[in-house]
Every structure is written in C-alpha cells, then in structure tokens.
Amino acid sequence: MFSAALPFIADYLDDLDAALKAQEPGRGLTRSQRRWLTFCLMGLLLTNTVSWAHFERSGLRGYRHSALSWMFRHTKILWEGLWQASVSVVLAQYDLKEGVLVVDDSDHRRAKRTTRIHRAHKIYDKKTGGYFNGQALVFLVLVTPQITVPVGFRFAAPDPRQVAWRAEEKRLKRLKVPKAERPPRPAPDAAYPSKLQLALELIASFRQAHAQVRIRAVLADALYGTQAFMDQASRLCDDAQTVSQLRTNQKVRFRGKERSLKDFFRAYPGVSQRIRVRGGEEIEVIVSSARVHVCAHNAKRFVIALRYPNETEYRYLVATDLSWRTLDIVQCYTLRWLVEVFLEDWKLNEGWGPLAKQPDEEGSSRSLILSLLLDHALILHPEQQARLSHQAPACTVGSLRQRCQGEALVDLFRRVLEAEDPAAQFEQLAEAIKAVFPLAPSSKHMSGRDLGRQQPTPALRYRAAEVSACA
C-alpha cells in the first residue's frame, strides 16, 4: 500500500518532464498527467501487474480505477516521445557514451481465444513442441560498461495471407499437385513486417534519437543471421561489428571449394582457449576460426566454430568485421546472454506479464511502455546509482522491488506518526483499508442455507425390505 510516491519515482518524473521539454518546449507533462503516471508507476511497483483495480486498492483509492482507465485511453501523452525521453534520461544520468546493441525476441502466452489483444497469434512452443496463442515482441537492449537497459521494442506477428498460403501449399504438396497448378506466393504485406525488419527499425530509431552513443557491436541470435540484416545493422551503426550465428549446414567457399560449415571445420579442428565470460569468470572453450566466403551472404565473413564445456556440438558465429580478433568476437558475443536476463527480470518483476490484458494496439503498447518506464526508474534508484558509482555490482530487480515495497509501507506509517493527530490519522487509515478490502461472502460454507433432509423415511422401510429380499 502507498499514500504518496517514493522519492526516486518523483525524481525520475522530474527528469522525464525536463527531457520532454528539451525535446519540444512546452510539451512537458501536465499536472494531471504527472499525478497519473506517478500513481501508475507506484501501482506497478507494488502490485507487479498492469491492473487498474489493483492500483486502486494498493493506493487506498487515491485514484479510482475508472479514472485510471480513462487517463490511459484519452490523455494527450505522446507515448513514443515519452519512451525516447526516458531512454535519454537514463543515458544522461549515467553519462553513457558507448555500448553494444543486442536484439532478441520473446513470446508471451495469452488465452486460447483473444479478439482484442494486439498481434495475438499462434506461436510454436519450444518447450513442448506444440503451439499456444500469444504475443511476440522484438526487443533492443543496450549493454554498456555500467548498465544493461532496454531502448526499444516492437510487436511482431506473421502475415495472415502468408500463413494461409503456406498451409495451402503444404496441403497441395501432400496431394502431389504440380507447382504450376498451385497458387503463387502472395506479396508481403507492409502492415506485417518480419522480426528482422522490426529489429532494423529499432536500431535505426535508436540511432536517430541517440546518435551521440557510439555502438561498438550489434549482437543477435541465429534468426537474424542473414546477409540483409547483418549488413544493414552494421551500416546503421557506422560499420560497427555485427555478430550472429549460422546453421551447421550452411555453405562456405574456401579456395574455390564449397562445403558445409560442419564439414569445413572438421578439417580444421578447434584448439583450447580461455575466455572471460561477460567480464567475469574465465572458462575454457574449444575454438576454431576462418575468414571465408559465406555463400548465403555472398560475402566474406569471419566464421568461428565454438564449443563450450560439457557441449558435444559446435555452434558457428559469424561476424562482419574481419579485423577483429577471434577471442574478442567470442567474448563480445557472451554479452548476448544479458538480454535473456533482462527478459526474465522484466517478465517476473515489472508487471506486464500478469493480468496486463489491455485491449487493442494502444492498450498493449502503452501498458508495455509503463512497464519499461518502471525498469528505467529502478535503474535510476539511488541505491543502484550509489553501487554503480563505486564500481560495485548492481542489485537485482526483484530484490530492489521488494525493498521499495517495504519503503512504501514505512513511508505510509511515517506519515501517520508525523500527523498532528496520529491516533485520528491511524483510524482514518484503518477505515480506508476496510473500505478498500471489503469482505466477500463465501459459497464454501453452508451457513444460512438449507442442507436438505438427511435421514431415512419410515414409510419407505417396508419397500427397502422387499427390495433386499428380492435380491
């Protein structure tokens, strides 16, 4: 529960308002917008969900859920500008001048039947091998020498016409219908860009808004290991190194001969090397590398065969800049794991997962922005800044959120004790809690209801005796 914003939330909104005014004078937050954002961020922090009813209860009805919902839908906030302003605040507070951009996507399960959840579609479940209905998001995360911070997101969904065509193509192939008699592939719909296109949009948007940040490298998993993505990502970041992965069966050409990656590196076995993982512990890995022509990319790439301890198969990294050293690329690519940590923290501790069922495109995107604003606010918490300024490890999102929950409760009691009449203030608080948390009737207990007659009927005893005799 809370009765006022914690100081770090208020300070964050001061900085956010100043950043908005710097973007465009006169376009800062109004008093009502600031009060609403404060209440929402405090509600997210304490309830871990984007639910107006939960916010109302945790804030002791300082804001009614209907008013919260109305402001969410109708307030004249430029949400994209608000998001970019928040990124600017984080970059300025920590004086971040360089970093590594990491691209990754994440799936979020929804109900089986959804009519108004933005971009909900059938998604392959890697854990079970089945499918579920959900939303897919592409994230762009900036990894710097100090912090790891989200800087962009997009919702992804497949083109329905392409999905229908693939299903029909598969059915007709099974029936052995000739290709000439099968329908042609439909043209791509610009309203449904691929994850690769969305990732490039995110990189371009970040570079346009924050051109002062020097990008050392762009990292992505095997989904993004195409020639178009790697070349464009590198170009957008002033020819920065771009690292992804290749499949084992992809062809490379070396000295005029084409072979699969697996066959090629079988002829050039790896050697044991020690690398430092994300600037921490050292581990021993098996590494082999070559600057070869990758046929699918129609370009020469730096390809690295890498095997971690306790693994039996190699993975194949591919990089655009041939002037880097092998171990530098390997160590840089270990930073990609940090985006997985961010996604796990975000799903568990920053409210967008549980009950965040705001309908339509604006509902999904705005609620997600609120969740990520909380992530930025927690990065700017005084405890985090103190630790990072002394080169100490930052604290986890989960532990910091629990600390803030305790601080909010202490602040609530402090306000009661500092009142002119603490006893009267305490009684008001007790009454407010009773009003916010009313007791609901239970259907589990039978009090006040008729249980019915639960005993034998004397007039039917003779009938029971006859039935028993016949048996």
Which tens digits make up the pLDDT trace of 102-124?
999 999 888 888 888 888 999 99
Give residues with Cβ within 8 angstroms of 6, minimum separation 6.
42, 45, 404, 407, 408, 411
- The answer as to whether 173 is a domain residue is no
Q: Name the burial class of residue 431, with classes exposed (0-12), middle (13-18) and buried (19+) by CB atoms within 10 angstroms of its CB.
A: exposed
- 317-356 as b/e: b if 16+ CB within 10 A: bbbbeeebebbebbebbbbbebbeebbebbeebbbbbeeb
pLDDT of residue 170: 94
Query: What confidence tier does 186 reach under pLDDT thresholds 50, 70, 90?
Result: very high
- The pLDDT of residue 355: 59
Contact 244, 317 (CB under 8 A): yes
450 vs 243, higher pLDDT: 243
The number of beta carbons lying within 10 Å of the beta carbon of residue 280 is 8
Give the separation between CA 130 and CA 112, rounded to whole angstroms: 13
Q: Measured between alpha carbons, how far is 119 from 103 in angstroms, rounded to an integer?
A: 20
pLDDT at 471 over 70: no
In a domain, 378, yes or no: yes
pLDDT-based confidence at residue 344 (cuts at 50, 70, 90): very high
Give pLDDT tens digits for 294-303: 999 999 999 9
Does the residue 324 lie in any domain? Answer: no
Whether residue 414 lies inside any domain: the answer is yes
Question: Comparing 107-111, 327-331, 343-347, 401-405, which segment has the lowest mean pLDDT?
Answer: 107-111
Supply the pTM of this predicted model: 0.91
Residues 367-391 pLDDT 10s? 999 999 999 999 999 999 999 999 9
Per-residue confidence (pLDDT) for residue 466, from 0 to 100: 81
User: Element (H or E) spanning 79, and its range?
Assistant: helix 79-93
pLDDT at residue 141 greater than cutoff 90: yes
Q: How far apart are the first and last CA of the chain?
A: 68
Q: Is the pLDDT of residue 358 over 80?
A: no
What is the pLDDT at residue 356?
58
- Residues 6+ positions from 222 with CB-CB distance below 8 Å: 244, 245, 246, 247
The pLDDT value recorded for residue 451 is 84
With H, G, I as helix, E, B as strand and everything else as coil, classify residue 421.
Answer: coil
Residue 353 pLDDT exceeds 80: no
Q: How far is residue 88's CA from residue 85's CA, in Å, rounded to a whole number? A: 5
97 has pLDDT over 90? yes
CB atoms near residue 461 (< 10 Å) = 10
Phi and psi torsions of 199, nearest 5°: -65, -40
Number of domains in the chain: 1
Token pair listed for 106: 């994440």
Q: Which residues contact 119 (CB under 8 A, 6 or more apart)?
A: 135, 136, 155, 156, 157, 361, 364
- 201 lies in a domain? no
Mean pLDDT (the chain, rounded): 92
pLDDT > 90 fraction of the chain, expressed in percent and rounded? 75
Does the residue 258 lie in any domain? no
pLDDT digits (tens, 9 = 90+) for 38-60: 999 999 999 999 999 999 999 98
Specify the pLDDT at position 27: 86
**Segments forming the whole domain that contains residue 407:** 1-77+359-433
